[in-house]
Amino acid sequence: MKTVAVIVHWGPHQPTVELAERLDASPSIAQVTIVANDGSTRPAELATSVAWILPPRNLGFGGGFQLAVRDYPAAGAYLLVNNDIRIDEATIRACLDLLTGTNIGVVAPTLINGDGLQSGSARLSPVLVAPRARRPPDDRPCEADWVTGAVMFIKAECLRRVPFDGRYFLGFEDVDFCYRVREAGWSVVLSPHRAWHTGSTMIPHRGNAYYIVRNRLWFTRIRGWRLRTTLVAAVTAAVVLPRSVVLDVARGRGLETTALVRHGLIDGLGPLPPPGDPRADEPRAAHWTARR
Q: Quick: pLDDT tens for 14-69.
A: 999 999 999 999 999 999 999 999 999 999 999 999 999 999 999 999 999 999 99
290 pLDDT tier (thresholds 50, 70, 90): low
pLDDT at 262 > cutoff 80:
yes
Q: Which of 55-69, 100-114, 129-143 has the lowest mean pLDDT?
A: 129-143
Share of the chain above pLDDT 70, in %: 90
pLDDT attached to residue 248 = 92
pLDDT at 113 > cutoff 90:
no
pLDDT at 74 > cutoff 60:
yes
Domains delineated in the chain: 3-197 (3.90.550.60), 206-289 (no CATH)
pLDDT attached to residue 199 = 72
What spatial distance separates the first Cα and last Cα of the chain, rounded to whole Å? 49
Confirm if 68 and 74 have CB atoms less than 8 A apart: no
CA distance 200 to 205: 8
pLDDT attached to residue 282 = 95
pLDDT at 138 > cutoff 80:
no
Q: Which of 8-17, 177-186, 246-255 has the lowest mean pLDDT?
A: 246-255
> In Å, how far are 122, 127, 156 from 184, measured between CA atoms?
19, 23, 14
Q: Quick: pLDDT tens for 80-97.
A: 999 999 999 999 999 999
Question: Based on the number of CB atoms within 10 Å of its own CB, is 26 exposed (0-12), middle (13-18) or buried (19 or more)?
Answer: middle
